Structure 1
Amino acid sequence: MQVSVTGRHVDVTEAMKQHVEDKISKLKRHFDHVTDIHVILTVEKLEQKAEATVQISGAVLFADDVQEDMYAAIDNMVDKLDRQIIKHKEKVQSHR
């Protein structure tokens, strides 16, 4: 699993990068076939935005979140991705 973190109008600190990688690592618990994750952190005036594109076998998932705190935006974005991955996994494994 390859994780890349990019910042727009913000310098991505080592602490931010480590927080993203720690949160993203929990996605691997639900689905092993995650190949590539690209995270973009953006600051626009008072809004902190975190968005991610995840490439998994059979689909490309996208989630984003806007908060006043960057770490809260990252947490909410990862929760959204987690729900999408679980839904995709159930869809792939259904034996209808």
Structure 2
Amino acid sequence: MDVRISSKHMDLTPPIEEYAERKLEKLPRVFDRIQNLEMVVDKARNGYVLEIIANVAHHEPFVATSEDADLYACIDLGVDRLLRQLRDHKSKLRDNKHIPSAREMET
């Protein structure tokens, strides 16, 4: 899995990059079809804006955004939102069972 972390209007320090990578490494444990992850951190007027894009096989990319004054809290919130989307998608795939039609029930 390819992980890219970039920033706009600011420089990311190594501890922040390590923290973000540690958080993003947890995502494949929940859903193993993630091909790559891209995190973009933007310095806004009142704090930080974070966007995480997860490209998944056979599906449109999942996008999670978060805003917060604290960068670490912003990363946590963004990862939690993406985890929620991935868990919901995984449960839809797992629970998508074939319901027999009336014709199949008669025979």
* Larger Rg computed on CA atoms: 2
Q: How does 1:1-96 map to 2 (within 5 A)?
A: 1-59=1-59, 60-94=61-95, 95-96=97-98
| Runs of 4+ that moved beyond 3 A | none
Query: Which structure has greater strand proportion?
Result: 1
> What TM-score does the superposition give when structure 1 sets the normalisation length?
0.94
**Higher relative contact order, structure no. (Cα contacts within 8 Å, ≥ 6 residues apart):** 1
Task: Give a deviation string over 1:43-86, Cα, whole Å, max 9, x none.
Answer: 01222111111001222100010000011000000000000000
> What TM-score does the superposition give when structure 2 sets the normalisation length?
0.85
Task: Give a deviation string over 1:1-34, Cα, whole Å, max 9, x none.
Answer: 1100110001011111111111111111111111
| Structure 1 position 91, deviation (Å) | 1.2
State the percentage of identical aligned residues. 28
- State the distance in 2 between where 1:79 and 1:90 align: 16
Q: CA RMSD in A?
A: 1.0
